[in-house]
Chains A and B, each alone.
Chain A
Amino acid sequence: MGIINTLIRPFVDYLPENNRIERIWKLAQVDFKKRYYNDRLGLLWALIKPLIQVTVYYTVFATVFKIEKENYALFLFCGIIFWGIFTDATTRGIKLLSDKKYLIENIQFNRLDLYYSFILSILIGFLFNFGAFFLMSIFNGNYPDYETLFFPVVILNLLIISMGFTMILSCFQPFVKDIQHAWDMIILILFWTSGIFFEAQQVLDEQPWMLYANPFLGIIDTVHGSCLIDYELNFYYLFLNFIQSALILLLGIWVHRSYGYLAVEKL
C-alpha cells in the first residue's frame, strides 16, 4: 500500500477536506490491502495472473491454432486485463454485503459508499496491470494516438456496468446462496464470446444482434480501439455501451433500493 499511497498522496492532499471522499478512499484502500497484502508476493499477484493467462492463451491460439494477427499478444493482454475488471468486480462483489456485514449492522451510513469504494479498489488493482500493458505496448511500438483520448470513456463504461452487476448480484446473494456458481458459468460463457480472443467484428458481421445481447462485445472492441494503434475505435459502439452500462447501473440502483434492506435482513 506504500507505493499506492506515495503515488496518490499528492492528489489526495489537494482534495478539499471531505468526509465522504475520504471514507470511500479509506474503504477502497483497506479492501485493496486485504486482497494483496496478506501474502508474501502481495501486489505481484495482480501482475502475475494476467501475464500467465496471456502466455497460456497466446501459446494455444498463436502456436497451436496458428492465428496470424499482428501484435496478437498485445491484443490478448489488453482484452484480458480489461475483462479482469468485470470478473474481479462481480465475482468478489457478489459477497460484498456479507463481507461488510460488520459495518452495515453497527454503523449508520450510506451503503452506496460500499459499492463506490469497492469499484475504486478494483480500479487501483487494474492500474497495476495497465502499467505493465503500457510498458509492453511501448516496447512493441504501439504508441498512444488520438483514439487513446477516449480511453477514460471506455473504462468508465466498464466500471459503470461492473458496478451495476455487482449491486444486483450482491443484493440477491443472501437469498440465493449458490448464485456464485451460476455466475461463474455466465462469466465463463461471456469470457469466450466477448471478443477477447478474436475481433468482435468477425461475430458482428454475421450476427449483428449480438452487439445488443452481449454488451461486452462492444466494450472489449472499444477497449481494443482505444488502446491498440492498428485497431479502429468504433464510436457507435462506445455510445451504445454507455447507454447499456447506464441502464444496468440504473437497474442495480433500483435493485439495491428495493431489495438491499431485505438482503441485509437475511445476512
Chain B
Amino acid sequence: MQKPIIELHNVSKTFRIREKNSDSIKEKIKNLFSRGNGLRNIQALKNINLKVEKGDFIGIIGHNGSGKSTLLKIILGVLPPDNGGNVISRGRMIRLALGMGFDPNLTARDNIYVNGTILGLTFKQIGEQFDDILNFAELTEFVDTPIKFFSSGMVSRLAFSVAMHVDADVLLIDEFFGGVGDQNFRAKSNKVFKSAFLDGRTIVFVSHNLPTIKQYCNKVAILKEGEMICFDETSKALNVYSEKYSN
C-alpha cells in the first residue's frame, strides 16, 4: 500500500510574541537583563494529526485566526512544528497564494524559470512547458515585462498557470482559487483544475468558500482555535461545520 503523501503527527505550533517591539540591538540588550518580560505564547495549532493520501483533495475550513494558513506553512516546511511534532512529506510542493513565489522586479520569463527550477525542473523541461504556461495565462505579449507592472489578475493568472504546468506533486492553495481572472479564464482554469484533480494531483485547499469546497474536496478538516475538531468526508464535515457555526 502506498504511503500517505503528507503525514502530520502531534503537530502543535506556538508563536512567542513580545508585547513591545524588540527588534533592535538596544532592546535585545535590555531584554538580556529582563528575561521573560513581555513575552506571550500564542498557540496557533494544537496537536494536529493528519494523513493526506496521494490524489486527495483536502479542504481546510475554519474562522479567521483558526490556524489554517499556519497549517499550510507547516506542511510546506516554512515553519517548524513545536518539539514532539513530526511532519512527513513525500513530494514537491507549491503554495498558491496571491502574489506567490514571484519577484516583482523580475520579468514573467525569469519568474517562470526561477519557480520551475526550484520545483525541480531542468531548463530543458521548463523550455518545453514555457509556451503553454504563457498561453494559458494569456500573457504571451508580456513575457519580458517585469511582474511589478502586471495587474493583480495577471499575476494570479501566471501563478495559477505555473502551478498547473510545473508538475508539483502537492498544491497547497491558500484562499486563491475561485477569484482568478475574468469569466473566460475562470472557466478555463476550472476545466484544468478538474482534470488535474482527476489526474491524481494532491491538493490541500484552504478557503472560506464552502460551495467550492463542496464541489471539489473529497475530505474536509475543520479548524477551531488551532484544534482540528473534525476530519471527515466532505458532506459529513460540512454538516458538522454548519452545526458548530450556524449560530
Contact = CB atoms under 8 A, between A and B. Distances in A.
Contacts of A230: none
A106 B101 contact: yes
B54 interface: no
A175 B117 contact: no
A102 B105 contact: no
Nearest to A100: B103
A26 B100 CA distance: 18
A175 B28 contact: yes
Contact of B24 (A22, A178, A261): A178
Interface string A55-84: 000000000000000000000000000000
B94 to A, nearest CB: 5
Interface string B34-46: 0000000000000
B149 interface: no
Contact of B25 (A105, A179, A265): A179
B94 A30 contact: no
Given A34-B105, A175-B28, A176-B23, A105 B73 contact: yes
Given A178-B25, A182-B25, A106 B110 contact: no
Interface string A246-266: 000000000000000100110
B23 to A, nearest CB: 4
Interface string A1-25: 0000000000000000111001100
Interface size class of chain B, counting residues whose CB lies under 8 Å from the partner chain: 35 or more
Contact of B118 (A38, A109, A264): A109
Contacts, number: 85
B97 A106 contact: yes
Contacts of B61: none
A115 to B, nearest CB: 14
A138 to B, nearest CB: 36
A23 B117 contact: yes
Contacts of A264: 78-79
B92 A176 contact: no
B102 A33 contact: no
Interface residues of A, number: 29
A52 B228 CA distance: 62
A229 interface: no
B105 A17 contact: no
A108 interface: yes
Contact of A265 (B28, B79, B89, B118): B79
A26 B117 contact: yes
B121 interface: yes
A107 interface: yes
Query: Could you say which of A105, A106, A107 has the most chain B C-beta atoms within 10 Å of its C-beta?
Result: A106
11 contacts: A23-B118, A26-B114, A27-B117, A104-B78, A106-B100, A108-B77, A176-B24, A176-B28, A177-B23, A178-B24, A178-B25
Interface of A: 17-19, 22-23, 26-27, 30, 33-34, 38, 102-109, 174-179, 182, 261, 264-265
- A-B pairs, 10 with minimum CB distance: A23-B117, A106-B101, A177-B23, A106-B95, A106-B100, A261-B80, A108-B93, A109-B118, A26-B117, A17-B122
Given A22-B123, A107-B101, A265-B79, 8 more contacts: A34-B103, A103-B103, A106-B97, A107-B115, A108-B76, A176-B23, A264-B79, A265-B15
